[in-house]
Structure 1
């Protein structure tokens, strides 16, 4: 699954997803992988979240049997991390350099779109 999310103090909002049931979904921030992605400027790669104490009890791990997560920061016009561009799967993966680069470019493009939209709303 692929997601573009915004994170507020208490909530995660899904802006886009390849899964229709996830689009426009809101969930508590504490139940999300993305809460960890937004804590710094670095991408978060978790090849075995079921074995990581930070993630093993998240509802998504249990409900979807997730075994892989990769998230890149989504940044606003002030270069603040406001969400993530991420993917997750029920199979663990080794990420190639080209896959990593593609996700980084997707996150940069999504950040530019969020920045443009933010200027239009302001």
Structure 2
């Protein structure tokens, strides 16, 4: 298993994540609707809005998974935040980075993973991701659809942050 690298901008990435005042907050209906919709449209059993902090990936919304977080060290999303492009793993059991990952060898027996980074203030704070226990191939329209849903997730997160009083977010520095 290959643990995810730490981004070069980790300190500022974590500062943006903390400034959102979103970690460890209650479920958000609008995000739950998005993850439920994603499982239906992409025909996968699991969709997550995952936020990656120092030590974990925490699920702000989880459809099809009872866990609320996992260790960052074994997270797929920790890899996905390293790029501005979606991370697509058609069959994790055949990918050297993940083949012996406990999330692959044990429950939820991940085979397919596709995660698009959630970018706020030029920082990838987490992902909207899709997971299945069987391999999948994706086409360009799948990637575009996931990126479009990820934009909706970003808007919901920013709305909630403003509602929570995250004053730093009122500055016009969106990306």
TM normalised by structure 2 equals 0.63
Deviation at 1:20, TM superposition (A): 5.3
Alignment match of 2:73 (pick from 30, 46, 53): 30
Unpaired runs of at least 5, structure 2: 1-45, 167-175
Change beyond 3 A, Cα 1:42–1:10: same
Matched residue pairs, number?
119
* Structure 2 match to 1:19: 64
Structural RMSD (CA): 1.4
Change beyond 3 A, Cα 1:87–1:20: closer
Alignment match of 1:2 (pick from 41, 44, 47): 47
Segments ≥4 residues shifted beyond 4 Å: none
**Whole-angstrom distance in 2 between the partners of 1:13 and 1:66:** 17
Specify the structure having the higher radius of gyration (Cα). Answer: 2
Unpaired runs of at least 5, structure 1: none
Alignment match of 2:111 (pick from 67, 72, 83): 67
2:98 maps to 1:41: no
TM normalised by structure 1 equals 0.89
**Whole-angstrom distance in 2 between the partners of 1:47 and 1:120:** 38
**Whole-angstrom distance in 1 between the partners of 2:88 and 2:126:** 15
* Structure 1 match to 2:145: 102
Deviates more, 1:92-101 or 1:108-117: 92-101
Deviation at 1:16, TM superposition (A): 0.8
